[in-house]
Amino acid sequence: MVLLTTSKETPLKSPIRPRLLIGAAVLPLAIGAAVLQLGSASATETTKEKPQPTSAQSLVIGSKDTPQPQDMESFLTAVTKDVDTYWTKVFKDSDLPEPRATYSWIPAGQTAASACGDGTSDLGDSAAAYCPGDDTIYISEKFATDIFDGALNSSLPGSSQGYGKTYGDFAVAYIVAHEYGHQVQNELGLDQRYGGSVPTMAFELQADCYAGNWAKSASDQGRLENGDEQEALDAALAVGDFNTQQPGHHGTPEQREDAWKTGFDSGDPSSCDQYMQAG
């Protein structure tokens, strides 16, 4: 496993576009300060839309005997390491060099300078992106917290139209695993191979599928609890969009849910090849 946090140097700006979680680059953020209580079903009530927790919904990081992360920054890091462990094994089993993942968690109210930044602070409080230019996963801690407590349901493209919702730790884990999926694509050279020939949606659905692969491995290890799988499916629905005519279309709610489910049900990364071929 090679896992690095970003260096503090500001990378050169370039026109390379980030691979965002959500098709719409600008996301109107819902208001509502949240008290983060990971692994708890009692996050502070902040919005009317917030769904009621169904049951215990805690992804176990490592094993049940090890201390679990208690804040969003450490949760994001722990999930990234968990996903990295999965892909490191997948790559090793395929005689590929181990993946090299870099991540940067953006504190609330701050922006990150990235090779994908274009000066409009698009890597700020609404960021969940992978930047191929500097090979780094960027996720805003505020965004992740708002996903965790459902504060964004009225502003996400799918959930605002009644498709899914975001709530709980596994919704956040889905996002981390999706962004890592773009990292996997980069490692496999898929950007170069398919970037000019398949639509954005192909990369996005494949990243959702890869996120499902990792979730299946965690499930097989007995580290998911009731409700986790549904949290990911609901989150995939929630981030789907309807801009089917736009080049930046990421997939409809149903397509994104289906892609995650394809990866989960198969537990096999090769099941995710179909998205590139579909282009």
For residue 204, the minimal CB distance to Zn ion (Å) is: 5
Binding residue for Zn ion (CB under 5 A) from 141, 146, 169, 204?
A: 204
Q: How many residues bind Zn ion (CB under 5 A)?
A: 3
CB-nearer residue toward Zn ion: 19 or 249: 19
Query: Which residue sits closest to Zn ion, CB atoms considered?
Result: 19
Whether 13 and 119 have beta carbons less than 8 Å apart is answered as yes
CB count in 10 Å sphere of residue 115:
18
Which range of residues in 79-87, 206-214, 218-226, 260-268 is near Zn ion by CB under 5 A?
Answer: 206-214
Q: Which of 6, 19, 233, 260 binds Zn ion (CB under 5 A)?
A: 19
Binding segment toward Zn ion, per CB under 5 A, in 14-22, 106-114, 116-124, 261-269:
14-22
Q: Which residue's CB is nearer to Zn ion, number 207 or number 272?
A: 207
Instruction: Dump strand ranges (E) for 10-56.
Output: 19-20
208 touches Zn ion by CB under 5 A: no
What's the Cα-to-Cα distance from 208 to each of 25, 52, 69, rounded to whole Å? 18, 25, 24
Which DSSP letter does residue 6 get? P
Contact 100/129 with Cβ under 8 angstroms? no
Report the 3 state secondary structure along 153-178: CCCCCCHHHCCCCCCCHHHHHHHHHH
| CB-based contacts of 254, cutoff 8 Å, min separation 6 | 163, 237, 240
* 258 forms part of the interface with Zn ion (CB under 5 A): no
Site string for Zn ion, 74-113 (x = CB under 5 A): ----------------------------------------
For position 228 contacting Zn ion by CB under 5 A, the verdict is no
Residues that bind Zn ion (CB under 5 A): 19, 204, 207
